[in-house]
Structure 1
């Protein structure tokens, strides 16, 4: 992690001594002799800490602090002076200084303060980057919610594979979001301006499958009064998504294989050949390798479709994402329905982490929506919504993760109770301001979200 210190002091010998201390502590030090010079190095993306003397000719440290606040209120400013007094310290902290030190001070004490300020700045910039990405509706982090390692790998795979036209087979349990992955491959790929045609194979009657898939000419069968294009033609220049591919009728599999090989179709009842240009994406919750061995699925079709394989992990393998998903579903549903938003309590969070979620993200979303509806009139727990006692399944997982989840939820609930009033939150949680700020930065909690 890069550590940057912008040092401001009009005394050359003091500036040189402090710069040496911080160079030995692996900081990149920018030395300036006045506040005006320092302002030229500050911008909203400044990655480090501003350390300034207070008593300087021209612009003093308090004026520099005020100017820095107008550039970016989250830049940590540490002030030092040999003439400090209590009113000055109070004024500095009121203006938003990160800390205030009176000379003489131990070098290590100053370094420790600046290191903590640097950690805060790094977290602030990281959270800003994440929020900027989430605010873009086309960004993959808004589409696929989760920060667990398996989800990060999944997102990387999608962005890598989206730029090709190779066929993709998406595997995963029911409710994991396989269609969402398919749509992301379309939306982030070179065919984003083309159609996305999704076919739910189990929902199509077998007798109608061929006509729906390939289209038909007028008079091809009783009732076919007009010619009609099929789903494959409709997917021209775009993506054809075959969901639950294992349900594709066996007698149609050779015909689909031929289309994939030749990129040509013939409508039912017609002898004319039509060229089609599409990307094939299929999804399944079944073991197609086993199905091909059982001769219920063609092996050559499997190999044609699984040029690229993507596995969508079940929720139990990414349990640390469950709270973030649940809160997101609650907020989105409340906004969509015009309801009051409600967040799970720390006890709710522990219960959510304890569940196996056999229905995966789909089940979690349904519970989150019911939780939001049920909490409009009186408080109801997630366990009540699921008709389960919340103590029957104790929370499991790494102790550190459970403690952090509980602590984060306590802070969020306190902010919500007090509408973002930090003084009341500090009193409620019995925390000093600096400790509360550090924890909020660590967990990516923004006070503005609760005002």
Structure 2
């Protein structure tokens, strides 16, 4: 967390200097202003510190400043400096929301003591707010990146950790794994969420057009450039720029992009001037950029510059336990979008979904959900080989389906590793203790194939 500080509001230069020196000598950061108006200009919701203000100020007085603080940041502690014997004003200050008051004359020790108490309260308040934001962010992330698999849980945890940082991000995953969804989640859960989210697919666009789209141009920069155009980088200022299929970007443009990342400036085509930009870049690729770089098809310096924060999205076939939840999620969305009832999936259809290889990944699964809701035939879930009696039976609940599939996965891995729980847990990418608990849960501990000594 940012180190907390004290904002002193005092119009008397001698008193202001004395307060600043006392607080500085205590090892606390401090800044000072001479009016309530100047203090208001320096404050913002979530200000990492506390306010110490005199009651009597030119313009707005201390009481007005307290009321302003209560309106804009109700938890911001304000310590009021009052005149000697001015009990009435001290009571009024406390009623208006002051954290505490200190009457003149006061010692340095008394000032530092009340400031330390106020800072402790502010620190606790900010920590609680940060925790609430983190929990809310994680809950929201679960609705954007649906699943219970260890792989998707790791992705969500990494997103929550880096969303609020300014670091640029490289997302790698096969087609349809949700790279743009990840980019949008990073934007939504960052401090940039009120600024633009701008997306650009680098593939399938002529080089000159991509250059203009990305960097913008001035009138006369090329044939047909009749007026100034702001590029996507400038348009995303204060926000997030998502660059998909980065591997297709021409080498000349990679050099210009690297310069933007390093200098945070952009130069339009046909211009000699550079414009400062504050933009976070999230780049996505389905290729191994390191191999491309070693083969001379991608700049190695750009790869290392983007790969500081890298997110690897697993293909759907490697997180099959998420398919029931994802299917339910997409069918609910489709039913709402098309104003149709949600037909759900039969046990046979679920078996087909779980056994499909999903070359199109999550995007393909979403298309299947749309087809089922709309009643359109879909090869993935064709039920011609299904037993009618089986489909007429009451469908198990979603948790039951997930448990059945989980049990089948565990049995298969235990069989493959001849009952060795440690090796099976490694293959399933879960802790050994978690697998041991699940073995007991599903009654597999009694099976002769399971090495019982490993369950202790």
Q: 1:406 to 1:166 in 2, by over 3 A?
A: closer
SS at match of 2:227: coil
Pairing 1:226-265 to 2, within 5 Å after superposition = 226-265=227-266
Structure 1 residue 269, shift from structure 2 partner: 0.6
SS at match of 1:197: strand
Q: 1:404 aligns with which of 382, 397, 400?
A: 400
Does the CA contact (< 8 Å) of 2:324 and 2:398 recur in 1?
no
Does the CA contact (< 8 Å) of 1:168 and 1:280 recur in 2?
yes
In 2, distance between residues paired with 1:223 and 1:321?
A: 50
Does the CA contact (< 8 Å) of 1:383 and 1:390 recur in 2?
no
In 2, distance between residues paired with 1:241 and 1:197?
A: 6
Structure 1 residue 407, shift from structure 2 partner: 8.1
Pairing 1:373-384 to 2, within 5 Å after superposition = 373-374=374-375
Does the CA contact (< 8 Å) of 1:237 and 1:278 recur in 2?
yes
Structure 1 residue 350, shift from structure 2 partner: 1.4
Structure 1 residue 233, shift from structure 2 partner: 0.5
Does the CA contact (< 8 Å) of 1:346 and 1:406 recur in 2?
no
Structure 1 residue 301, shift from structure 2 partner: 0.6
Structure 1 residue 137, shift from structure 2 partner: 12
Does the CA contact (< 8 Å) of 1:350 and 1:402 recur in 2?
no
In 1, distance between residues paired with 2:309 and 2:403?
A: 41
Structure 1 residue 404, shift from structure 2 partner: 3.4
Q: 1:406 to 1:187 in 2, by over 3 A?
A: closer
SS at match of 1:240: strand
Q: 1:370 to 1:137 in 2, by over 3 A?
A: farther
Task: Tell me which residue corresponds to 2:36.
Answer: none
Structure 1 residue 406, shift from structure 2 partner: 7.7
In 2, distance between residues paired with 1:290 and 1:388?
A: 45
Deviation digits for residues 94-136 of structure 1, max 9, x if unmatched?
A: xxxxxxxxxxxxxxxxxxxxxxxxxxxxxxxxxxxxxxx99x9
Q: 1:278 to 1:403 in 2, by over 3 A?
A: closer
Task: Tell me which residue corresponds to 1:174.
Answer: 175
Gaps of 5+ in 1: 1-132, 392-400, 410-441, 443-451
SS at match of 1:228: coil
In 2, distance between residues paired with 1:174 and 1:388?
A: 30
SS at match of 2:203: helix
Q: 1:321 to 1:266 in 2, by over 3 A?
A: same
Task: Tell me which residue corresponds to 1:366.
Answer: 367
Task: Tell me which residue corresponds to 2:296.
Answer: 295
In 1, distance between residues paired with 2:166 and 2:353?
A: 39
Task: Tell me which residue corresponds to 1:200.
Answer: 201
Q: Does 1:149 align with 2:145?
A: no
Does the CA contact (< 8 Å) of 2:218 and 2:227 recur in 1?
yes
Q: 1:406 to 1:321 in 2, by over 3 A?
A: closer
Structure 1 residue 383, shift from structure 2 partner: 5.4
SS at match of 2:319: helix
Q: 1:384 to 1:293 in 2, by over 3 A?
A: closer
Q: Does 1:266 align with 2:267?
A: yes
Pairing 1:186-225 to 2, within 5 Å after superposition = 186-225=187-226
In 2, distance between residues paired with 1:219 and 1:367?
A: 48
Residue-pair matches, total: 263
**Superposition RMSD in Å:** 2.8
Does the CA contact (< 8 Å) of 2:349 and 2:381 recur in 1?
no
Structure 1 residue 145, shift from structure 2 partner: 0.8
Gaps of 5+ in 2: 1-134, 388-396, 406-440, 442-456
Does the CA contact (< 8 Å) of 1:167 and 1:307 recur in 2?
yes
Deviation digits for residues 381-401 of structure 1, max 9, x if unmatched?
A: x6565588569xxxxxxxxx9
Task: Tell me which residue corresponds to 1:395.
Answer: none
In 1, distance between residues paired with 2:246 and 2:402?
A: 41
* Shift >4 Å, 4+ stretches: 382-391, 406-409
SS at match of 1:331: helix
Structure 1 residue 204, shift from structure 2 partner: 2.2
In 2, distance between residues paired with 1:316 and 1:209?
A: 34
Deviation digits for residues 354-407 of structure 1, max 9, x if unmatched?
A: 1111110000111111111127xxxx7x6565588569xxxxxxxxx9993188
Q: 1:322 to 1:384 in 2, by over 3 A?
A: closer
SS at match of 1:280: strand
In 2, distance between residues paired with 1:298 and 1:226?
A: 32
Deviation digits for residues 217-241 of structure 1, max 9, x if unmatched?
A: 1111121111011011011111111
In 1, distance between residues paired with 2:199 and 2:139?
A: 20
Superposition TM-score, scaled by structure 1 size: 0.55
Q: 1:407 to 1:156 in 2, by over 3 A?
A: closer
Task: Tell me which residue corresponds to 2:350.
Answer: 349
Q: 1:271 to 1:144 in 2, by over 3 A?
A: same
